[in-house]
């Protein structure tokens, strides 16, 4: 297939912390019929897609080249417009596409050429009375969103240096926050809500593990240990977590409450002077000071995404 009927939006602001080749040549050679739009700074992705859908040649496939935040926003639009998603890794971590076995742009285009697609589950997250957002990997409150908030305030330093400075500041300022679930109040360092069941040894479930995720896998880190352990729990690499566990910095199992549910509602109450925020797929969302209510619901088979043959739920061989 030459890409006719495909809209690809490139987010040039994604993945600036890593070096990778420009995909423009690949798009031109492998998808010459696709419409490629580079998202300008300040341009709204939803408006770009809405304009494309109004045209006489409305796209059949919505493609995105960007990081997890860009991919999740396009996934939301693909659901709204009932279109299939062509997700290509152009960010720093690319958790969602890697979970599908897509390591590079060519892998995604190979799946498109083979018409190999899979229906994936998502989570719909709603804060207070706002509109639900589509989540592909995880939602989090507590230590991780505060770290992201500190890092974004230092964006001029770059992702890695800004992240190091933000970690030091967030660690010094860290305090537990209060959540209320089913009438029960708890002081916690963090809560992670994963799309589908996740690695039982992790607290920070940044990357999904299942394709057709029909449940939420919730990790509640109760504030019984030190703030150092609270930040050590944010290690999402297996090796990093293993090292931290070996030297006694990882949270104790008794401090982590695990739930597998279809929906979850939390009242979130940060301490005075701390931001009222949550993160989904790396995207920071700010709420009114004083706290908010967060509701997460698992939605199975909510989105069709191109994925390599052999991905659970995809054809075992090209058509």
The CATH number given to whatever domain includes residue 226 is: 2.60.200.40
CATH code of 106's domain: 3.40.50.10330
- The answer on 178 and 64 residing in a single domain is no
- The answer on 20 and 64 residing in a single domain is yes
- The answer on 147 and 51 residing in a single domain is no
Residue with the larger pLDDT of the pair 143 and 296? 296
Residue with the larger pLDDT of the pair 166 and 222? 222
* Mean pLDDT in residue range 217-245: 75
Percentage above 70 pLDDT, the chain: 85
Domain count along the chain: 2
- The answer on 190 and 281 residing in a single domain is yes
* Mean pLDDT in residue range 217-228: 88
pLDDT of 19 above 90: no
Name the domain boundary from 115, 141, 157.
115
Query: Does 239 map to a domain?
Result: yes
What pLDDT digit, counting tens, does each position of 162-209 carry? 666 666 666 667 789 999 999 999 999 999 999 999 998 889 898 999
Query: Does 59 map to a domain?
Result: yes
Return the pLDDT at 174.
75
Query: Does 120 map to a domain?
Result: no
Query: Does 191 map to a domain?
Result: yes
Query: Does 111 map to a domain?
Result: yes
Query: Does 160 map to a domain?
Result: yes
- The answer on 242 and 176 residing in a single domain is yes
Return the pLDDT at 319.
47
pLDDT of 108 above 90: yes
Percentage above 90 pLDDT, the chain: 67
Strand partners, 30: none
What pLDDT digit, counting tens, does each position of 234-267 carry? 765 666 666 556 666 677 889 999 999 999 999 9
- The answer on 103 and 182 residing in a single domain is no
Q: Which domain covers residue 80, as residue numbers?
A: 6-115
- The answer on 220 and 74 residing in a single domain is no
Query: Does 103 map to a domain?
Result: yes
What pLDDT digit, counting tens, does each position of 295-306 carry? 999 999 999 999
- The answer on 247 and 101 residing in a single domain is no
Return the pLDDT at 41.
86
Residue with the larger pLDDT of the pair 154 and 77? 77
- The answer on 157 and 255 residing in a single domain is yes
- The answer on 192 and 97 residing in a single domain is no
Which of 282, 286, 253 has its CA nearest to residue 268?
A: 286
- The answer on 84 and 45 residing in a single domain is yes
- The answer on 241 and 177 residing in a single domain is yes
Q: What integer best gives the mean pLDDT of the chain?
A: 88
Query: Does 180 map to a domain?
Result: yes
What pLDDT digit, counting tens, does each position of 39-62 carry? 998 899 999 999 999 999 999 999
């Amino acid at each position: 297939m030459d890409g006719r009927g495909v809209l690809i939006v490139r987010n040039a602001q994604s993945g600036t912390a890593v070096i990778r080749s420009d995909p423009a040549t690949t798009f031109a050679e492998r998808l010459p019929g696709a419409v490629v739009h580079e998202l300008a700074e300040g341009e709204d992705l939803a408006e770009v897609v809405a304009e494309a859908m109004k045209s006489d040649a409305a796209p059949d496939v919505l493609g995105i080249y960007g990081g997890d935040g860009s991919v999740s926003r396009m996934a939301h639009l693909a659901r709204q417009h009932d279109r299939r998603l062509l997700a290509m890794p152009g960010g720093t971590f690319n958790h969602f596409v890697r979970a599908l076995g897509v390591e590079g742009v060519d892998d995604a285009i190979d799946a498109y050429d083979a018409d190999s697609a899979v229906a994936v589950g998502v989570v719909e997250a709603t804060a207070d009375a706002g509109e639900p957002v589509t989540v592909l990997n995880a939602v989090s409150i507590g230590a991780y969103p505060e770290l992201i908030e500190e890092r974004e305030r230092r964006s001029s330093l770059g992702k890695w240096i800004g992240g190091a400075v933000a970690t030091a500041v967030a660690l010094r300022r860290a305090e537990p926050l209060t959540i209320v679930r089913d009438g029960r109040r708890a002081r916690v360092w963090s809560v992670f809500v994963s799309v589908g069941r996740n690695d039982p040894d992790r607290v920070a479930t940044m990357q999904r593990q299942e394709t057709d995720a029909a449940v939420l896998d919730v990790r509640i880190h109760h504030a019984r240990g030190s703030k150092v352990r609270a930040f050590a729990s944010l290690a999402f690499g297996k090796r990093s977590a293993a090292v931290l566990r070996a030297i006694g910095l990882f949270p104790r199992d008794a401090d982590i409450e695990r739930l597998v549910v279809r929906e979850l509602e939390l009242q979130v109450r940060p301490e005075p002077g701390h931001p009222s925020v949550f993160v989904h797929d790396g995207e920071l969302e700010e709420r009114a000071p004083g706290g908010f209510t967060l509701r997460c619901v698992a939605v199975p088979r909510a989105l069709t995404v191109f994925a390599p043959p052999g991905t659970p739920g995809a054809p075992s061989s090209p058509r």
